[in-house]
A and B are shown apart, each in its own frame.
Chain A
């Protein structure tokens, strides 16, 4: 497929690897913030091909991993209501709430549907006027415009039976949270190419300056990732800390302005609790007051006391890059994809699951 296969070319991968090996003289720790990149790196067996001096740590860029237990419980509560069809991306179905997962309540008879797009949920609301359709709107800045668009459309069609349970999280505040931790060991970031496709580069300059940390906006294919790593290491070796854009075929410096406009039309920035990390100020989106009719939390008066997370799960340290999955005493023993203690073992992109599935443990 065009724009995929040429970025998976083994010869080009080898050339980039050779160059990385050639220029690396010191140990460096790089964090790829985005779970999609984690997935691609591990699935292609790239970490083992890099110089031993380069350590990759996997960041909190996976909505499945960082969506708090309380929000999962809210989604489950909605799914259990008799007249509600709860729609979700497939990713969220296995994530454990405080008691159960959406997959388990689906097995108990709740009407939970897996959709490819929030726009399908709007269609479902049109087709089922006697049911309430709620879309579980998770994701980072990349998914926010599509989720916002579903609300705009529902308002245009005057649908009274559509709402979203919003749980959006934002990348730059999380990067700040990671960098400001005194134990932080990150030397450079690979920033998330699709988030930046929407938001552009502006938010990253102050972070790179303040923490003297190179940030390379990177794509998702093997060659993209290796070029991103090469650019980051080149900066580190020279003692530079710039924001660079490896993924310029998709990312414009200003991002996608129409997408940003749609986000701001429907959402407002608020504080958000990240699973395993805790509250990060101004790090999420929720439905604003203009569209409050479409906010499932208000519409169905959800009032659930947030549950405690599993104390045995060290996902916070893992997502901040302080520990690797294999350093968790429960990895692969008490905690496995089939009975996860925490979200990073559930999501196909969670750092723990990625290690469990693909790395030779």
Chain B
């Protein structure tokens, strides 16, 4: 870590003066170096051809460091993944910080290094950005916004209105790991676990799927807040189809299951950062699944159900013991329960 003037972020670092300049120079420009950022201009001038996707997302996670990652890789992967779900390969990102006075410089440095690593892994370049500092108590350590653009894959035709009866629902991996990793370090709930966030750039895999199955990939969505249950409900509602899933086919790691049992949570509603749902034509379903499973990152992928004309607009799940129940939207955040 380079030597900064202060051990913590002060209001001066947001003043636009010398402190801001020094922070950006050694903290941001040196790490994220590229031909656009090097110009240190207010914006980036880019060459883009054809159809692009554009997405923006803000990151406000607490705590900012958690098993397997921190707010930095969430901020990169989140926007890369939102673009991937449109069928686009992220190319350029903007990166904006809102930092609360008092954040330790060392923590910011850690986050920046993580951002660099995540951007390289996703194959995306940070070309412009912004830094603001707010008074103590006006933020929560650090908030990050990233926006990004990328070209749409030529074979992509992703739209919920292409979903039809008989289409198959695939989940790309073990669910609920990210939410449980965060919970494990939440004050008042802490437990020891080797579970880490599943934060991951999904663009490379999505491009492979589109290369091979093109139009047969009807719909993609990463199951972040609200978990896979929320995504499935959104799909059921917007398409007016029913969705039928089988609980025993939904992959959950044992430790995640254990944590959910202990805290009284339902893994269907727990957040993910590197898991997506893919609705695909029945004829391609097995091949698409095999493509996913042929890689180490998606080796737990599973077909979990299909689209039906029954129970229109609803998600129905067959339980492990053979009963059926409805899987609804939750009214708010899922809270740990004792009862």
Q: Is the CB of A1 within 8 A of B321?
A: no
Q: Could you say which residues of chain B place their CB within 8 Å of the CB of A91? A: 335, 337-339
Q: Is A358 an interface residue (CB 8 A)?
A: yes
Tell me the nearest residue of chain B to A47, going by C-beta: B323
Counting chain A residues whose Cβ lies within 8 A of the other chain, the interface size class is 35 or more
Query: Do B339 and A4 have beta carbons less than 8 Å apart?
Result: no
- For residue A14, CB closer than 8 A to chain B, the reply is yes
Does A46 count as interface, using CB distance less than 8 angstroms? yes
User: In the complex the two chains form, is B311's CB within 8 Å of A360's CB?
Assistant: yes
Task: From B189, B326, B328, B332, name the one whose CB has the most chain A CB atoms within 10 angstroms.
Answer: B326
Interface pair B254/A89, CB less than 8 Å apart: no
B258 near A44: Cβ-Cβ < 8 Å: no
Interface flag for A49 (CB, 8 Å): yes
Check B324–A45 contact: CB distance below 8 A: yes
B50 within 8 A of partner (CB): no
Whether B335 and A44, one on each chain, are in contact in the complex, defined by CB atoms closer than 8 angstroms, is: no
Known: A114-B188, A348-B337. A94 touches B322 (CB 8 A): no
For residue B257, CB closer than 8 A to chain A, the reply is: yes
CA distance A45 to B246 in the complex (A): 12
Q: Are B320 and A48 in contact (CB under 8 A)?
A: no
Interface of B is mostly: loop
Most buried by B among A10, A48, A90: A90
Give the residue name and chain of the B residue nearest to A94 (CB).
B332
Binds B, one of A35-43, A285-293, A308-316: A35-43
Interface residues of B in 307-339 (CB under 8 A from A): 311, 314, 316, 318-326, 328, 330-332, 335-339
Q: Is A100 part of the contact surface with B, judged by Cβ < 8 Å? A: no
Are the C-beta atoms of B322 and A49 separated by less than 8 Å?
A: yes
Contact A44 B325 (CB under 8 A): yes
Given A62-B339, A356-B328; A116-B263 close (CB under 8 Å): yes
Rounded to whole angstroms, the CA-CA distance of A244 and B332 in the bound complex is 40
Contacting residues of chain B (230-288) with chain A, CB-CB under 8 angstroms: 254, 257-258, 261-264, 266
Q: Is the CB of B339 within 8 A of A64?
A: yes
Point out the residues of chain A lying under 8 angstroms from B192, CB to CB.
none
Is B187's CB within 8 Å of the partner chain A? yes
Bound form: Cα–Cα A144–B83 in Å: 51
In whole Å, how far is B84's beta carbon from the nearest beta carbon of chain A?
Answer: 31
* Cβ A89 vs Cβ B323 within 8 A: no
Contact flag A359-B325 (CB < 8 Å), given A62-B339, A64-B339, A90-B337: yes
Q: A201 on the interface (CB 8 Å rule)? A: no
Q: Is there an interface contact between B339 and A35, defined as CB atoms closer than 8 Å?
A: yes
Known contacts being A116-B189, A360-B316, is A347 close to B328, with CB within 8 Å? no
Write 11 A-B pairs (CB below 8 A) sorted by A numbering.
A1-B254, A45-B322, A45-B323, A45-B325, A46-B323, A94-B332, A114-B189, A139-B338, A347-B339, A348-B339, A357-B328
Instruction: Give me 5 other A-B pairs in contact (C-beta within 8 A), A90-B337, A139-B339 excluded.
Output: A1-B261, A45-B324, A90-B336, A222-B321, A349-B339
On B, residues with C-beta under 8 Å from A are 187-189, 254, 257-258, 261-264, 266, 311, 314, 316, 318-326, 328, 330-332, 335-339
